[in-house]
Chains A and B, each alone.
Chain A
């Protein structure tokens, strides 16, 4: 099967544009081109950003309160071909809530990360008890809370952008479009089904066990034989 990776990356960008436009209102007086999702393609790598058309640097999404910009959302997603060159896979993503251009919350994913959890939150805040605990137990740590990597489910079970958007709207109470929740829930379903498919590829043995033993499906292995479990992927934090 031939597959147009660039077209798939373009579709990815389109989905992101639709999600952002369905959830966060545009800021009056800001050039709408800065809200444009741009997918910059090199042969096998794609950068999904905002506002980089026309040679501009990456922009942020203004987060509004009663129409006034009070914070910003930074979104960067890097895609590469998956191991079979069939789909664009996220190699790295960075979602940040910023105020006055400084990060407050960061949700980072890097599939090649080994020293820190592949998917983690960083919270840019101060808490003396955490600093003193880190300083006492880990001489290699600066003690800053913002340098603590809070693990969130690894590559497969990590939160999606929709989760962060819902947090921004329902807890921070930033302005939202009237039907934001539908767009968030639709996007979350899409995300979780993709992640589930990836997990089935990681662990077909468990998928077959559940389908056959628990749900009564008749499942046959391919003629080439049962596919192995990728334990390296299940073990990774």
Chain B
């Protein structure tokens, strides 16, 4: 295969504002609140966009920890 050009991995030091902004972008992309999105995931009725958005929300929750959401 022809190689396009590789990249190096990066380490990003996140702060809570950056993480909350990431969560807000994900929610805005599907025009749902976090509770509405959770409801669609739990009801197994989420679209691929909504599943990806939920993944973002869930990752942010993991990184923020339970006390800083």
Which A residues contact B (CB, under 8 angstroms)?
6, 9-10, 13-14, 16-17, 21, 25-28, 30, 32-33, 35-42, 45, 47, 49, 52-53, 55, 57-58, 64, 67, 76, 78, 91-92, 101-102, 175-178
Q: Are A36's CB and B7's CB within 8 A? A: yes
Contacts of B62 in A (CB 8 A): 45, 47, 78, 91-92
For the complex, what is the distance from the CA of A39 to the CA of B11, rounded to whole Å? 5
Instruction: For A37, give the chain B residue with the smallest CB separation.
Output: B9
Given known pairs A26-B3, A27-B4, A67-B1, the reply for A39 and B65 (CB within 8 Å) is: no
Given known pairs A42-B64, A57-B25, A57-B26, the reply for A36 and B59 (CB within 8 Å) is: no
Total number of residue pairs linking A and B with CB closer than 8 Å: 102
For the complex, what is the distance from the CA of A105 to the CA of B58, rounded to whole Å? 21
Q: Are A32's CB and B4's CB within 8 A? A: yes
Q: Which of B32-61 contact A (CB under 8 A)?
A: 48, 52-53, 55-56, 59
CB proximity of B54 to chain A, nearest CB, Å = 11
Q: Are B59's CB and A9's CB within 8 A? A: no
For the complex, what is the distance from the CA of A27 to the CA of B56, rounded to whole Å? 24
CB proximity of A184 to chain B, nearest CB, Å = 16
Q: Are B22's CB and A55's CB within 8 A? A: yes
CB proximity of A76 to chain B, nearest CB, Å = 7
Q: Are A28's CB and B9's CB within 8 A? A: no
Contacts of A36 in B (CB 8 A): 7-10
Interface of A is mostly: mixed
For the complex, what is the distance from the CA of A30 to the CA of B1, rounded to whole Å? 15
CB proximity of B6 to chain A, nearest CB, Å = 5
Contacts of B14 in A (CB 8 A): 40-42
Contacts of B1 in A (CB 8 A): 25, 64, 67, 175-178
Contacts of B65 in A (CB 8 A): 42, 45
For the complex, what is the distance from the CA of A92 to the CA of B55, rounded to whole Å? 13
For the complex, what is the distance from the CA of A38 to the CA of B63, rounded to whole Å? 14
Q: Are A102's CB and B10's CB within 8 A? A: no
Instruction: For A34, give the chain B residue with the smallest CB separation.
Output: B7
Contacts of B25 in A (CB 8 A): 55, 57
Q: Are A39's CB and B59's CB within 8 A? A: no
Instruction: For A36, give the chain B residue with the smallest CB separation.
Output: B7
Cβ-defined partner of B56 (8 Å) among A39, A57, A178: A57
17 contacts between A and B (CB under 8 A): A10-B9, A13-B11, A21-B6, A32-B4, A33-B7, A38-B9, A38-B10, A38-B11, A38-B12, A39-B9, A39-B10, A41-B13, A57-B29, A57-B53, A78-B62, A101-B48, A178-B1
